[in-house]
Structure formats: structure tokens, C-alpha cells
Amino acid sequence: MLRRNFMALAGAATILFGSGQALSQDMPAPFDKAADVNIALVRYLSTGDFFQAYLAGVENQAAALGVNLRVLDSRQDAALQADMVDQAIALGVDGIVIQHGLTESMKEAAQRAVDAGIKVVAFDVNVENEAIPQIEQSDYQLGKMALDQAVKDNGNNFTAGYVYVPGIAPLDRRHVAWEETKAANPDITEVAQFGTLDNPIANSVANQARSVLQANPTINVVFAPYDEFAKGVKIAVDEAGLTDDIDIYSADVSTADISAMREPGSAWVATVATNPAVVGEASVRALALMLAGEDPGASVVVPPTLITQAFLNEQDIKNMDDLGAKMPQFQHADVAMADWMPLPPR
Amino acid sequence: MNDRLLDFSIKYGFLILLFGLIIFFSLTTNGFASARSAAFVLQSVALTGILALGVTCTLVVDGFDLSIGAVATSALMLSAYSMVILEHSALVAVLLCLSMGALVGLINGLLIVRFRVPDLLATLGMMFLLIGLQRIPTQGNSIATGMSLGNGVVAEGTFSKAFLWIGRHRFDLVIERLLPMPVVIFLLIAVFIWLFLGFTRHGRMMYAIGSNERAAGLVGVQVNNYKIAAYMISGVTASIGGILLAARLGRGDIASGNNLLLDSVAAALIGFAVLGAARPNAFGTAIGALFVGILLQGMTMMNAPYYTQDFVKGAVLVSALVFTFYLSSRRTGAGR
């Protein structure tokens, strides 16, 4: 494991930089004195595997650059998050990554940071500011690719259950893909829509899904575009003894999800995901490009990857590390890159 | 005549409403009236029901336990940690969780009786403490087999078959594999708490403490011990809930458990109205949990969105509270 990581690191480093990790002298200002560069991550959401992995990505890329990272976590308090941007301005940071939040509360705070001469990037929150690039994991693509796979596996004539909670930005964007797929394939019937964010989410969704499957025995495909939803539906399908009759398509992935997908006869056949750690790295790289006076573009989209049950079984993938090793596009996204940019060790 | 009608409606109103709901859903939805539906309605109720029975014990002594949801999710994380990372057996994991629940209950009780911290505040503090504590060992990550532990080490342990059996086994009853294990545990705990509170000396003492703590103390009831016991029962039942949750999910999911807390408190409060008891009681709590469960599952089968379900839950709770507090006071007023 360690050895493989080392090999991967050595390989990546050799290809990209010729030899070893980029030395700070090779990097453009201000990274020639990287220890003097301070960046802040201002978070809105932090609880859960996705956000934990995102944070890890941000930390790793910041460490690879050698800059100081300060993490400000508002824990779903929109007003506090705006205050934290002001706090970061007062601390005199050079760059800010805004992670999630509400447009209404963050728009002005972000503008204040830009006015103070600070470089800002925003992940998954639209702050309506031309000076601020958007980092996205393309939730629309996540939904679209999962549904394309569902149509490929089941034809364009199936009876679907759909798990959705309106008002949650990423789910709303995935919902667009579902509406489009339904419009393009009139023989797909949605007989039930359900969903809840009561936690533990998987347990609450499992309870709902049991009722839905009982009331609608014709369902043969469930589109559950969030892994907690998919996990809940899978529990219900198992309990109802319908594993052979129903296929679950979802979005997002984690180590726990991989083992659920790989259980013998699992109904969870495919998921589409971006690696949240890679998104975190791309966020910091985009910010670094701006600090070095380069332009990362108005939006930096980290492309998602289709992960099927068959692939996981063939390659005997047990966790996220295996997945990254067997699927290089999941380990690293070639976005917001520059020749001088050091990458985190893998 | 009017008084008798009022009496009757206070006493049986809720049960009649429950019966009416079952008939309504049987007629309007496809597949509600079946043994399988009954089994999964009960399954969806089992978890909140078990927690609600625990909170009932603290309500009986005029206390309150806000930490049950967090105890349940802590037990969920602890069982996963114990089996997946420390590679313990199912028995060790279960015993660890139960003792954790008892310990939390003991600390809650001591905070309340020895340190004189008001019950809501003590258990609120415990709730936050546990929500944080359960995430410290894994730095906020969920626990699953194959997770990397840093330094290239991978967690090799798995949820043992015996442990999953607790949450997933189903007994044959009329139909094969019908009755889920959590439902059996829920019913056992319900019967036990019902007998304990209603038919033992200890249970009556606890009610006496709840209605007048000073008077109970003056006639020689060991108020403090009973109060601590009530919180320990609540902690242990909450940890049983967490074990069942872990066995159903098959992984250590981080969750605050606040929804579990709210749902089970609602069930216990609705229970006040059942049979016109106007006080916490185990039978009422079980019926209250069942009432909410039937309503939610029935509405899900009718494709009702989640926010209407919260609305209905609230409406039921408010009307139950009106039943309890307004109508009962009128009844005693009329009798005077």
C-alpha cells in the first residue's frame, strides 16, 4: 500500500516535473516564498464523508504548495459564514476558498473580499461575481451519466421510483437531468417520488422506500442521486427480498458505498461520482493560479466518473484508495493545472 | 350525557382515530392492508418506539432526556468502531454499547441529582458532548470495512453475522420471514417497561416522585436513586436503539440523531393522550409511536412529499396535547 503510493508519487512527479517535487524556487511569485502565503477556507457544510474528504484535498494541495491554510467553519450558519469572510479579510489572507453557502448571504461578503484585493474562488455556491471563478463538480453531469447508464442497462421503457428532496442545490441540479431523461424517453414512467433528509438519512429513506415498494410493485429502477438515498433504498430492497427485480442508480461514492455495491446480489448497480478530495485540490489550484497572476477560467469543472458494480467486482476494489489506483481519472483531475504546480503526494 | 361523551372521547378518541386511519389507508392505497405492510410499519416504528419508551421513564420522574438521539448514534458509531477497527466480536460490541448507554445515563442522573443541574440543560450538554465525542476517533468520517486508517493501514474488521442478525433477522409468522427482530425487541421492551412502570412498587414510586418529589421524599422514597435509575434506563434503551440502527445500516454512519430524539419525544407526548391517561405511560408511548408510523408510511404510499409528513406529525402532536391538557382539565373541572 505504502509502496504503491510511493510508486504513484514517483511516477507522477517524474512525468510532470522531471525530477522530484517542484522546489519553491521553480514556482512563480508569490509561491517562491510560499511560507508567507496565507489562504483561508470558509466552509458552510462540514459534516459528513464528502466534506471531510474535500477538506483533506484542500489541506493536501495547500501543503504541496507550501502555503499556510486557515480553516473557518460556519457549520451551516449562513450569517456566520459571511462574518468569517470578513474575519479572513481582517486576518490579511491572500486568497479565500468559499465552500458552499447561500448566494444571498455570500454575494456581498465575497465582493468585500475582492475589493480588499484578495483572490477568491467559490465551490458549489454562486456568488454572482465575475472576478470569482466557480469550482464545480457538475451535479448535472453526475445525474446525466447515471441515467444514461440506467437507460443503457434497462432500455428506455422502465418503471421508476425517484428519490428527491427539493431545495438542496446539488440535488436540484441532478433533478434537471432526471426531468430531461424523462422528457427524452416517454416510456419511462415515474410512479413514485419520495425522499427525506431526516438523519440518519439512510434509515429514514429505507422506511419510506419499504412503503413505496409495497405500494408500487412494478418498480424496476430506482434513481437515487445521492449515496445516502441509495443506501436506504438498498436496505429496503434487501428487506423486501427484491434484489433481483430492482436496479439502483445513484451519485457519489465512499468506501462504505463500495462495500454496499459489492455485496453479493446487490441491487445497487452503478453510481457516478467525483472524488471530493480531487475537487478540494482543484479549488486550491485554481486559487493558486490566480495568486500567480494566471487565469483559471470562469468555471473549473471537475468531471465525474461512472463506477459500475461490475467494474468494482472485476478489479476487486475495496475502498476509495483502490478506486483511485484502478481509476486514474478518479484520483486526479487535469483541471486548473500549470507546469509549475506541485501536486499532493499519493 | 355530555360529560359521558367527553369522557368517552378522551378515553378512546385516539384509538378510534388510529383505527380510522388504518381503514382509510387500506381503502385508498394499494397494498397497505397486508401482513407485510404491518411488519414494515412496525419496523419503521421500532427504533423511535424503543427510544420513546426510555424517555417515558424520565418523563415519569418529571425529568427529560434530550441526549437519547445522541446516545443512539454514539452506540451506532461505537459498535462499528468496536467491530470494524478493533475487530471485536458481536457480543463485545453489544456489551460495550449497553454499558456506554448505562454510563451516560448514570452521568446524566448524577449531574441532575448531585450537581443540581436542571434536567433539560444537563441532557442538552450531554447531547452536544456525545455528538462531538462520537466523531473524534475517526476524525468525522463514517466507519466501514476497508476504510483507510492512515499510514496505509486498512480496517479489516467486518460487522459480524451475529450482530447483523439483531437488526436484520426476520422470524416466520404466518408468512415466511415476516417479523423483523427489531420489532420483537421493541415489543419486549414495551411490555417490560409497561409492567415495570404500571405494576411494580418501583414504578409506582417513580410516578410518586413525578407528581410530587418532596412528598415522595418525605415518606421515605429514595428520590435520587430512582431518578438516576430512570436516566440509566433511558440511556440503555437508547443504546439498544443505536445497536439496532447499526445492524440495519451495516456501517457506522455519522449522524446527530436529532430526528430520532424529536420523533421519540413526540411519540411519548402523544402517548399522554391514549386512554385519557394524561401522564407518561408505556402503553400510550407504544401506541403513539405506532400512530406516527402508520401515518407516515401510509402517506408515503400515497406519494405525499416529506414536508407534508412533518406537518401532519406536528398536527397530530398538537391535537394530542390538546386532548391531554385541555380536555382532561375540563373533565376534572366537571367532576368537581
Tens of pLDDT, residue by residue over A241-252, are 888 899 999 999
Nearest-neighbour CA in chain B from A245: distance (Å): 18
Instruction: Give the strands of the sheet with A189-194, arranged side by side.
Output: A189-194, A159-163, A221-224, A247-251, A268-273, A305-308
The amino acid at A171: L
Query: Which residues form the domain of B303?
Result: 2-25+32-146+153-335
pLDDT single digits (tens) B200-258: 999 999 999 999 999 999 998 999 999 999 999 999 999 999 999 999 888 888 777 88
Per-residue confidence band for B151, with pLDDT thresholds at 50, 70 and 90: low
Length of chain A: 346
Q: What is the pLDDT of residue B5?
A: 81
Query: Is B257 within 8 Å of A200 when comparing Cβ atoms?
Result: yes
Contact B248 A5 (CB under 8 A): no
For residue B291, pLDDT over 70 is answered with yes
CATH of the domain at B239: 1.10.3470
Q: B176 pLDDT exceeds 90?
A: no
CA nearest to B131 within chain A? A47
Which residue of A lies nearest to B31 if distances are taken between CA atoms? A215
From chain A, the residues in CB contact with B255 under 8 A are: 199-201
**How far is CA B127 from each of CA A209, A273, B48, B68, rounded to the nearest angstrom?**
29, 34, 17, 8
Task: From chain B, pick out residues whose CB is under 8 angstroms from the CB of A346.
Answer: none
* Closest Cβ opposite residue B297 in set A211, A216, A318: A211
pLDDT band for position B13 (50/70/90)?
confident
Average pLDDT, chain A: 88
Would the CB atoms of B249 and A203 count as touching at under 8 Å? yes
C-alpha cell of A41?
Answer: 477556507
Task: Please name which of A276, A280, A288, A282 lies closest in space to residue A38, comparing C-alpha atoms.
Answer: A288
CB-based burial, B248-281: b 16+ in 10 Å, e otherwise: bbbbbbbbbbbbbbbbbbbbbbbbbbbbbbbebb
The C-alpha cell that represents B333 in the structure block:
373541572
Q: Is B9 left (phi over 0), alpha (psi -120 to 50) or beta?
A: alpha
Placement of cell 457549520 in the chain: A75
- pLDDT of A206-258, one tens digit each? 999 999 998 899 999 999 999 899 999 999 999 888 888 999 999 999 888 99
Quickly list DSSP for A259-274: HHHHSTT-SEEEEEE-
Q: Nearest-CA neighbor of A236 among A264, A214, A269, A263?
A: A214
Select from B216, B241, B185 the least CA-distant residue to B72: B241
- Span A260-287, pLDDT tens digits: 999 888 999 999 999 889 999 999 999 9
* B interface test, pick of A47, A168, A234, A239 with most B CB neighbours within 10 Å: A239
Three-class SS of residue B151? coil
pLDDT over threshold 70, residue A135: yes
- Give me the residues of B, 271-330, that contact A with CB < 8 A: 296-298, 300-303, 305-306, 309
* Of the candidate ranges A8-12, A41-45, A182-186, A289-293, the one whose mean pLDDT is the lowest: A8-12
Q: How far apart are CA A13 and CA A19, in angstroms?
A: 6
Q: List B residues 135-164 in contact with A (Cβ-Cβ < 8 A).
A: 139-148, 151-154
- Looking at residue A98, its amino acid is I
- R_g (Cα) of chain B, nearest Å: 21
* The pLDDT of residue A14: 41
> What pLDDT band is residue A24 in, cutting at 50, 70 and 90?
low
Angle at alpha carbon of residue B165, lines to B162 and B166, rounded to 5°: 100
Cell output for A300: 473549473
Question: B143 CA to chain A: closest CA distance, Å?
Answer: 7
Q: Quick check: bond before A133 cis, omega within 30?
A: no
Q: Dihedral angle at the C-alpha atoms of B187, B191, B194, B197, nearest 10 degrees?
A: -120
Distance CA A70, CA A39 (A): 6
Task: Quickly tell me which residue has 441529582 as its cell.
Answer: B113
A-chain residues within 8 Å CB-CB of B250?
A: 260
Q: Which three cell numbers stand for residue A205?
A: 429513506
> Residue B36: which of A47, A165, A214 has the nearest Cβ?
A214
Mutate to test the interface with B, among A6, A46, A71, A211 (most CBs of B within 10 A): A211
Outline where chain A has alpha helix (H).
2-17, 49-65, 78-91, 103-115, 139-154, 169-184, 201-215, 227-240, 255-262, 276-291, 309-314, 320-326, 328-331
CB contact under 8 A, A319 and B154: yes
Q: What is the number of CB-based contacts under 8 A between chain A and chain B?
A: 129
Alpha-carbon distance of A45 to A224, in angstroms, equals 21
Confidence check: pLDDT of B57 > 80: yes
CA distance A147 to A141: 10
Torsion angle defined by CA atoms of residues B189, B191, B197 and B201, in that order, rounded to the nearest 10 degrees: -110
DSSP code of B325? Answer: I
Residue found by looking up cell 424523462 in the block: A182
| Integer Cα distance of B75 and B260 in angstroms | 13
Question: pLDDT by residue (tens digit) across A50-82?
Answer: 888 899 999 999 999 999 999 999 888 888 999
* pLDDT computed for residue B273 by the predictor: 85
3-state secondary structure of B149: coil
The answer for residues whose C-beta is within 8 angstroms of residue A167's C-beta and 6 or more apart is none
CB contact under 8 A, A194 and B146: no
Total tally of structural domains belonging to chain B: 1
Average confidence (pLDDT) over A109-125: 94
What is the C-alpha to C-alpha distance for residues A177 and A157, in angstroms, rounded to an integer? Answer: 17
Cell of B104: 451516560
What percent of chain A has a predicted confidence (pLDDT) above 70?
Answer: 93
**B256 contact A CB<8A:** yes
Domains recognised in chain A with CATH numbers = 2-137+275-303 (3.40.50.2300), 139-273 (3.40.50.2300)
Burial-class residue A54 by CB neighbours within 10 Å (0-12, 13-18, 19+).
Answer: buried
Place of cell 434503551: B237
**C-beta atoms surrounding B18 within 10 Å:** 16
Q: What is the pLDDT of residue B303?
A: 82
Q: What angle do CA A57, A96, A31 make, to 5 degrees?
A: 75
Q: Compute the distance between CA of residue A294 and CA of residue A301 in angstroms, rounded to an integer.
A: 17
Choice between B331 and A21, residue whose per-residue pLDDT is larger: B331
Query: How far is residue A217's CA from residue A242's CA, in Å, rounded to a whole number?
Result: 10
Confidence at residue A313, expressed as pLDDT on a 0 to 100 scale: 94
**ipTM > 0.90?**
no
Residue A281, C-beta contacts closer than 8 angstroms, at least 6 positions apart: A57, A58, A60, A61, A332, A333, A343, A344
Cell matching residue B262:
424529536
Mean pLDDT of B161-189: 88
Q: Are A296 and A289 in contact (CB under 8 A)?
A: yes
Spell out which residues of chain B touch residue A216, defining contact as CB-CB under 8 Å.
Answer: 30
**Contacts with A212 from chain B: Cβ below 8 Å:** 300-301
Confidence of residue B32 (pLDDT cuts 50, 70, 90): confident
**B29, B76, B146: residue with CB nearest A319:** B146
φ, ψ of residue A92 to 5 degrees: the values are 75, 35
